[in-house]
């Protein structure tokens, strides 16, 4: 039985690998890809999402434009990590496939309203603005959502955009507070686990050696994207944050974590966007998220190689 999903994304090189992995997963039925402002502005994330689909030979995928700014705050982008286009590292042709006419939030709402209870999984891998807006506009959709599997947050790893906050949460903390407080089954891939999913030279060279447009794109993207983490953390490669969500949907046993309470800081200027994870159970706040901490990295990279290498390409 395939699992119906909607990927909400701000491509970004790691978003690209997550989308490619999902396109290589017969276990998943991608109802649509909804774009949000994040790594780069919305105008670019909608172009990038379509470039990725066409690169994979899937111009049939429905791509939607969503929110172009956070609920309340000014947009913060991450060109310093992802480059000016958001997909630096490879030059791909401008997309030919159209954007869908419906806006992303309406698509999310309409898809869920037409679905049976607990039948669609949302996979946000950028700021949570689209998801929060849909929940605010149509609270009745909550019971239709099987699970939200998101990339965001950090506890042991602390922040990557501020000393305490991870980027996706930091960009729209009010949206994150709505999502984490919605009472919907929530699985979180924070930096604690994604910083253990770091590319290594042999893996990247394996894709480059394929010599295909797709293989060269994976090598080019990770080769560009790794600069930031190599410089900041001394990492050996690029942390594949967003693909952790899709890998979890395909092979959940690759991951382990705890079902705990996680709250979002929305007021302190010092710790804005922090995911306050009660990992040690020191409060009586109710558990609301499965917060992942460990990964079988060998299994993860083997899965990515197997699935992405099998894509037909353009
Ligand atoms: O902090 C990492 C997250 O921010 C990833 O989703 C990356 O694509 C960026 O959006
Ligand atoms: Ca992302």
Residues forming a β-bridge with 189: 151
The sign of the torsion formed by the CA atoms of 306, 309, 310, 311 equals: positive
Atom of ligand 1 nearest to the CA of 241: 5
**241 in active site:** yes
Q: Is the CB of 39 under 6 A from ligand 1?
A: yes
Torsion angles phi and psi, residue 16, rounded to 5: -60, -45
pLDDT per residue rounded down to tens, the chain (314 residues): 899 999 999 999 999 999 999 999 999 999 999 999 999 999 999 999 999 999 999 999 999 999 999 999 999 999 999 999 999 999 999 999 999 999 999 999 999 999 999 999 999 999 999 999 999 999 999 999 999 999 999 999 999 999 999 999 999 999 999 999 999 999 999 999 999 999 999 999 999 999 999 999 999 999 999 998 898 889 899 999 999 999 999 999 999 999 999 999 999 999 999 999 999 999 999 999 999 999 999 999 999 999 999 999 98
The sign of the torsion formed by the CA atoms of 130, 136, 141, 147 equals: positive
| Domain 3-308 is found in CATH 3.90.245.10 | yes
- Residue 62's pLDDT is 98
- Residue 216's pLDDT is 98
Is 0.85 topped by the overall pTM? yes
In tens, the pLDDT along 253-288 reads 999 999 999 999 999 999 999 999 999 999 999 999
Instruction: Report DSSP letters for 28-78, one per residue.
Output: EEEEEEEE-SSSS-HHHHHHHHHHHHHHTT-TTS-EEE--SS-SSS-----
- In the reported structure, the alpha carbon of residue 299 is separated from the centroid of ligand 2 by a whole-number distance in angstroms of 22
Q: Is the CB of 172 under 6 A from ligand 1?
A: no
- Residue 91's pLDDT is 96
Rounded CA-CA distance 220/233 in Å is: 20
- Residue 212's pLDDT is 97
- In the reported structure, the alpha carbon of residue 126 is separated from the centroid of ligand 1 by a whole-number distance in angstroms of 6
- In the reported structure, the alpha carbon of residue 215 is separated from the centroid of ligand 2 by a whole-number distance in angstroms of 20
Task: Of 183, 172, 217, 235, give the one whose Cα is nearest residue 309.
Answer: 217
Atom of ligand 1 nearest to the CA of 12: 8
Asked if 250 contacts 20 with a C-beta cutoff of 8 angstroms, the reply is no
- Residue 1's pLDDT is 85
Please identify which of the residues 80, 195, 241, 259 carries the catalytic annotation: 241
Q: Is the CB of 166 under 6 A from ligand 1?
A: yes
């Amino acid at each position: 039985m395939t699992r119906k999903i909607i990927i909400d994304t701000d491509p970004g090189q790691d978003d690209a690998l997550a989308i490619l992995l999902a396109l290589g997963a017969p276990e998943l039925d991608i109802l649509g890809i909804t774009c949000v402002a994040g790594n780069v502005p919305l105008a670019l994330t909608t172009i990038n999402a379509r470039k990725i689909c066409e690169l994979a030979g899937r111009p049939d995928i429905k791509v939607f434009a969503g929110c172009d700014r956070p609920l309340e705050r000014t947009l913060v982008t991450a060109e310093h990590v992802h480059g000016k286009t958001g997909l630096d590292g490879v030059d791909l042709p401008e997309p030919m496939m159209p954007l869908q006419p419906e806006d992303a939030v309406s698509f999310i709402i309409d898809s869920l309203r037409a679905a049976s209870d607990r039948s669609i999984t949302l996979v946000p891998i950028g700021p949570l603005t689209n998801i929060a807006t849909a929940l605010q506009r149509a609270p009745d959709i909550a019971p239709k959502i099987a699970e939200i599997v998101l990339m965001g947050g950090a506890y042991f790893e602390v922040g990557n955009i501020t000393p305490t906050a991870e980027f996706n949460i930091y960009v729209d903390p009010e949206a994150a507070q709505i999502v984490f407080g919605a009472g919907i089954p929530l699985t979180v891939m924070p930096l604690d686990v994604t910083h253990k999913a770091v590319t290594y030279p042999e893996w990247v060279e394996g894709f480059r050696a394929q010599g295909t447009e797709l293989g060269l794109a994976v090598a080019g993207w990770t080769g560009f994207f790794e600069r930031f983490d190599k410089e900041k953390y001394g990492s050996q490669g690029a942390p594949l944050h967003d693909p952790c969500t899709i890998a979890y949907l395909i092979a959940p046993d690759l991951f382990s974590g705890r079902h705990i309470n996680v709250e979002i800081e929305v007021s302190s200027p010092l710790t804005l966007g922090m995911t306050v994870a009660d990992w040690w159970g020191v409060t009586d706040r109710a558990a609301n998220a499965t917060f992942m901490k460990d990964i079988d990295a060998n299994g993860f990279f083997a899965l990515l190689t197997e699935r992405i290498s099998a894509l037909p390409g353009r």
